[in-house]
Each structure stands twice: as C-alpha cells, then as structure tokens.
Amino acid sequence: MITWNNLDTLASYKELFNLEKVDLKEAMSGENGAERVKKYSIPMAEGLSYNFAAKQVDDKLLEALAKLAEEAQLTEKFEALYNGEVINTGEKRRVLHHLTRGQLGNAVEADGADKRDFYTEQQRKIAAFAEKVHAGEITNAAGEKFTTVVQIGIGGSDLGPRAMYLALENWAKKKGLFKMEAKFISNVDPDDAAAVLASIDVAHSVFILVSKSGTTLETLTNESFVKDALANAGLDPSKHMVAVTSETSPLAKSDDYLAAFFMDDYIGGRYSSTSAVGGAVLSLAFGPEVFAQFLDGAAAADKTAADKDIRKNPAMLDALIGVYERNVLGYPSTAVLPYSQALSRFPAHLQQLDMESNGKSVNRFGEPVEYVTGPLIFGEPGTNGQHSFYQLLHQGTDIVPLQFIGFRKNQMDTDVVIQGSTSQQKLCANVAAQIMAFACGKADDNRNKNFEGGRPSSIIIGDQLTPGALGALLAHFENKVMFQGFLWNVNSFDQEGVQLGKVLAKRVLAHETDGALKVYSDLLDI
C-alpha cells in the first residue's frame, strides 16, 4: 500500500542530518579523487553515464539515501504513475507522458480508449503526414514543396520542442537527414512573430499551432498574426496550417487546418516533447525515423528509472542527491551546464520542467509544507558560461550545485587542431578542469585569487549527442523531477502558479481595473 507522507515525517530523512558531511576538497584531492571518479559512476541508457564523484557523498550517505528511497516508496509511486493511477491530485488526472514512448506496465484505459494505442496512432498519423510533405504529396497551392515548418506555441509547446530541434539540427545535417528548417513563435510580443515571418518564405512554410484547449491567448494571437501574413501574401491560411490540440477543442475538426494531431489532459506541456507536441515539428524537420530514435532513447531511460536499486537508477540517485543538497545542505539553486552548443536551450527547458513542477509550497493534499522544495534552475552552455556567471559559482557567497553534461565527440565530425589540440579536446578539457576547480579550489594569500573549493558537481557523459542520447537525457531529467516531487510530497503535474497573472491580464485588457493595477495599465498605455 502506498502512503503519501511529507519528507520531514520520514525517519530516514531525519537520519541524514546525523551523518558526517563529506569534505569534498579532501575527497577529490590526489589518489583519493582518482579512485572516487572511477567508483562513483553508473551507466545510463544509450551509452551515457552519470558520474557523481564530485558530489558530497560517500558510501554511508548512499546507504542512507537508499533507505530514504525505500521509505518514500519511490519505485512503487513511479509504478503507480505509469500504470495509470491518478497521480495529478490537483487536477484529478493520470500522468501518462511515459506512454508516448513505451509501455512500462499495465495497459491504461481512459476516455474509452487504450492510451498507448491512442499515442502511437497519433505518431503514425504524424509520420504519414511528414512523409507526404517530404515527398511533395502535400504542397502549397502552387504545388510547390514546403521547406520550412514553424511551430506556434508557448511554454511546454515551445521550450521542449525548440530545445530538442536545436539539439539535433546539426547532427541531422551532417547525417543527411535534415528535411526542413524549423522556426518557433512563442512570445505574444509582436516582435517575435514579426522577426520569424521576416526570416522565412511564407509561401513555402507550414505552420503548426499547438494549443491543447484551443483557447491559449498568446498562441491564438500569434496564429492571427501568421494568418494575416499569409492572407497579405495572397495565400489561403488553411492550406498552410496544422493543429496539435485535444480532440475536444474547437480546433480539432476545423476546416482551417490541413490536419489535426491530438494530445490529451494526461500529459502536461513541459512533459510533452515526446507527444504530438514535439512529434509533429521534429518529424517534419528530421523525418519520423529520427523522432522514433529519440523516443527509443527516452523509453530506455524510463526502464532504468523503474529499477529499485539506486546504484542502477541514475534518475533516482540524481534526485536523492539533489534533495540532500537542497534540504540538508541548504543549497538554494542548481546550475545546468551542458558543454555542447547543441544543448543551448536545454537549460531553459529544464527551468520550466523543474520549477513549474516542483515550485510548490503545499503538499499534494493542499497542506503547507515546512521545508524547502524545488530549487532555482539556471544555466548556459560551456564554455560561454565560464565567461559569464562562473565567477559567482567559484567565489560567490552561495554554493550552487552543478550538473555538467559533456560528450567525447562533436556532432559535425569536423574539427581543427590549434596549438596541439582540437576544439573538441579544448571543450572537454574545460569541463574536466571546471569540475576539479570547483571541488578542490586553490589556496592563495591574495584573497581575491583564493578559491575555497568544496563546490559540488555531477556530470553526465556520452560519446555523441544523437537522437537516442537526447531522448535518454530528456527522460533522465523528467524522471529526476518526478522522484523529487515524490520525496517532497508535492504534485509535480499541475501549475496553478501560472494562472493568476493570466486572469489579471484579461482584466487589464477588458479595462476592468482599479488601484495600482489601473495605474500600471495607464503607464503602459493599454
């Protein structure tokens, strides 16, 4: 029987405070450090590995974290989730994004349908549509092939798919699998849509409108922007538009769209990259086979997340260490630092995934919690970040845990040798050096040049960023966030915090304001 208890009621959590804290500087120095790097690494899906040697952990802590995982019933709660129990208590819904990439447990029946069949049917429909577009069977009114796809959506309808597209764009070009350029319109700021439209040939562009409800204000506003541009070019918008929406939305059976692909209420926006939300744009950009490889990588990571042994479950271990850092060591934030330019928008996606999921101050029953929950997430690719905010990470007053991501090979398989090493070797040298610099620091009598060290990090290492590796990476973080939500006993699958601003914005636009809100409205000339 599963019980949902607050973190601070668990005996194994309280025991964490009695353990001696690891001296990271000492642990990572000399031969001790070399042995730790070899010892504290576990395999992930798709050839990735999770190395946590530079975290403040030892064998005693790992044993204690395993007890916490068992007492918190993390494996059982994940099993309940993928078997279709109502885990989203705020909205009284199932949580089914894992089903978009595989069947981990029992068949899940909902809305009179087998949900796995529902998701795979949408994938088949998207694949068939994409193949017809690529073959020139679906064209513009002049019979010419579409060359660009533009996704219109905001939040999870933009951040995840955009990050995934950018992650695979150069890989697909190198492999000869690049089919169509993808662009994204998300911000209701008219400059966003105007800039994208100015950069494309609208006559040869197909637009994907993503809105589950069919009522998202920013998305519908941008759709109107696009339709005006198409009409002004003498084009029929209905011959250039595709909808990704729910079966019950007003968009589902509209003649305004070439095709409609469906999602449902059981997949939150930030978890939707492996659904039709990501599937349509990625299949058009790279082909259905590449999207299928991406799904396979995510499915493989999901399987490891179901393992009860934390030494074989990188997502669960990553989550447990993160909760230890947040709740016992008191670190308020986490930086995600991919040493891969292809992952330039991956930290932005993880900001939404993590902060929208676990940025909660009440538990899943609506009762206030008396401990901190989700951390602040930020990040940029290395080495750019080194010349930006690493100063604070190295010598600032706050200790910020770091999550590095690195690959042995670049995606383009091209490089140049400068001063005896390649660019990729320089990149990898930087990430290795940063891990050790953060952990061990450097003593100096000049206090400005003194580095205290003791700043923890982990690294996910892979051979090359491929579709499978990307899928595994995405699922790792989705599952990590899920496990942390279970530990904090919060509902990671609703997002009421985004609603109040929307309600007030509608009041402003309807001129139903008073007090300070009216003054701000007047200042902005609304």
Catalytic residues: 356, 387, 502
Strands (E), 340-424: 376-378, 402-407, 417-418, 421-422
Three-state SS for 33-48 is HHHHHHHCEEECHHHC
CA neighbor of 240 nearest in space, from 162, 232, 248: 232
Contact 285, 179 (CB under 8 A): yes
Distance of CA 404 to the CA centre of its chain: 15
Q: What angle do CA 308, 353, 68 make, to 5 degrees?
A: 30
Looking up tokens 């400059």 gives: 191
Beta-carbon count within 10 A of 208 CB: 25
**How many angstroms separate the CA atoms of 482 and 484, rounded?**
5
| Spatial contact of 150 and 184, defined as CB atoms under 8 Å apart | yes
How far is Cα 193 from Cα 202, in angstroms, rounded to an integer? 12
- Asked if 280 and 157 touch (Cβ cutoff 8 Å), the reply is no
Continuous segment of H or E residues that includes residue 334:
strand 333-339
CA angle 138, 142, 145 (to 5 degrees): 45
Residue whose C-alpha is closest to residue 144's, from 242, 232, 235? 235
CB 54 within 8 A of CB 435: yes
Per residue, the 3-state secondary structure of 57-82, as one string, reads CCHHHHHHHHHHHHHCCHHHHHHHHH
In angstroms, rounded to a whole number, what is the distance separating the alpha carbons of residues 201 and 140? Answer: 12
